[in-house]
Amino acid sequence: MLKIRDLHAAIDGKEILRGIDLDIKAGEVHAVMGPNGSGKSTLAAVLAGNEAFEVTSGTVEFDGYDLLGMSPEERAREGLFLSFQYPVEIPGVSMTNFLRTALNEQKKYRKEKPLSASNFLKLMRDKKNLVEIDSDLTNRSVNEGFSGGEKKKNEIFQMAMLDPRLSILDETDSGLDIDALRVVANGVNKLRRDDNATIVITHYQRLLNHIVPDKVHVLYKGKIVKSAGKELAHELEINGYDWIKKELDEQ
């Protein structure tokens, strides 16, 4: 589904990603871990099309298409979803209007009929239950005055509404208490299917107790330096990142 080759990216002339290679197949969950500043969030931002970052070389194929040649909205309409580490508050744009616009733009792109008002509301109701989001929140402006936990739940709620094929969860666990973490993880697990895939970006292992990955990658200084099964996450939880840094620095 996703094929990243030798991806380099920079911001303000400073190189952050220094040659990423990654393959993700449908039905898989990959965890990308790593110490602070290793480039995890940059990878997420570059995949979603944030123009603040400049891709200096490399390729990314999404279902055979050149992902890097697409605008952020085209990527989203093709089925890529980024759950933001810091969801943006947008006063004056209602959640309902926002989601209806997003869904209908997606439908238009896919040459499908727009949702009727009643079907849209029904979909909202169903998906709200999935992520246990407070009904009141969807009557407000996008993320405005939401708590940290509510913002993260809202990201997963949007993910449920848009039904992406590839989801990138950027530090979705940060700032969550244990109950909110479970709710968010349950939501993600319920959305898992054989025909979609998830990238979980996290600093800590605890989210991976709830969302069990097929593969774990360690990102360090802009490169994937280690890939293994889910046991790698446990190892990192116990021993931290220092041993990997040490191992690399010795090489």
Partner 1 sequence: MSNNNLTQKYITLYQNHKERLLDNSSQIVNEYRDKAFDAFKKSGIPTVKSEAYKYTNIEEPFSRDYQSVLESEKFSGNIEELFKCNVEELDTYTMFTVNGKFIGDNNPGALPEGVIVGGFAEMAEMHPAIVEKYYGKSALIEKDGVIALNTMLATDGLFIYVPSGIKPEKPLQVVNILTAENDILVNRRDLIVVEGGADLRLLFCDHTISTNRFLVNAVTEGFVADSGTLDFYNLQNQHNGTVQIGGYYFQQDKKSLLNANYFSLNSGIARNNVFVDMNGLHGENHISGLTLVDKNQHVDNFLSISHNVPECESNELFKSVLDDAGSGAFTGRIYVAPDAQKTNAYQSNNNLLLTDTALMNARPQLEIYADDVKCSHGATVGQLDEEALFYLRARGIGKDEATILLMYAFAYEVIEKIRVPALKEQIRTLVEKRFRGELDKCDSCIVCADINKVMNDLSGV
- Return the residue of 106, 154, 196, 198 that touches partner 1, per CB under 8 A: 106
Quote the DSSP letter at residue 67. Answer: G
Stretch that binds partner 1, among 80-88, 118-126, 206-214, 241-249 (CB under 8 A): 80-88
| 163 belongs to the binding site for partner 1 (CB under 8 A) | no
Residues 159, 186 contacting (CB under 8 angstroms): no
Residues 95, 43 contacting (CB under 8 angstroms): no
| 183 belongs to the binding site for partner 1 (CB under 8 A) | no
Q: Give me 175's structure tokens.
A: 């700032």
Cα distance between residue 156 and residue 76, in whole Å? 15
- Return the residue of 90, 117, 121, 228 that touches partner 1, per CB under 8 A: 90
Q: How far is the CB of 46 from partner 1 (least distance, A)?
A: 12
- Residue placing its CB nearer to partner 1 in the complex, 97 or 129: 97
Site string for partner 1, 45-74 (x = CB under 8 A): ---xxxxx------------------xxx-
- Return the residue of 12, 14, 36, 88 that touches partner 1, per CB under 8 A: 88
Q: How far is the CB of 110 from partner 1 (least distance, A)?
A: 10
Reduced to 3 states (helix: H, G, I; strand: E, B; else coil), residue 116 is coil
- Residue placing its CB nearer to partner 1 in the complex, 107 or 210: 107
| 77 belongs to the binding site for partner 1 (CB under 8 A) | yes
Listed in order, strand segments (DSSP E) in 112-163 are 141-142
Cα distance between residue 239 and residue 248, in whole Å? 15
Cα distance between residue 35 and residue 58, in whole Å? 23
- Return the residue of 101, 119, 129, 135 that touches partner 1, per CB under 8 A: 101
| 228 belongs to the binding site for partner 1 (CB under 8 A) | no
Cα distance between residue 187 and residue 76, in whole Å? 20
| 96 belongs to the binding site for partner 1 (CB under 8 A) | no
- Return the residue of 63, 105, 132, 237 that touches partner 1, per CB under 8 A: 105
Give whole-number Cα distances, 68 to 55, 65, 85, 232, in Å.
8, 9, 21, 30
Q: Give me 163's structure tokens.
A: 């039904």
Q: Give Cβ neighbours of residue 238 (< 8 Å, ≥ 6 apart).
A: none
- Return the residue of 25, 109, 135, 239 that touches partner 1, per CB under 8 A: 109
Letter string b/e over residues 64-76, b meaning 16 or more CB atoms within 10 A of that residue's CB = eeebbebeeeebb
Q: How many residues bind partner 1 (CB under 8 A)?
A: 31
| 11 belongs to the binding site for partner 1 (CB under 8 A) | no
Task: List contacts with partner 1 (CB under 8 A).
Answer: 48-52, 71-73, 75-77, 81-82, 84, 87-88, 90-93, 97-98, 101-102, 105-106, 109, 141-142, 158, 162
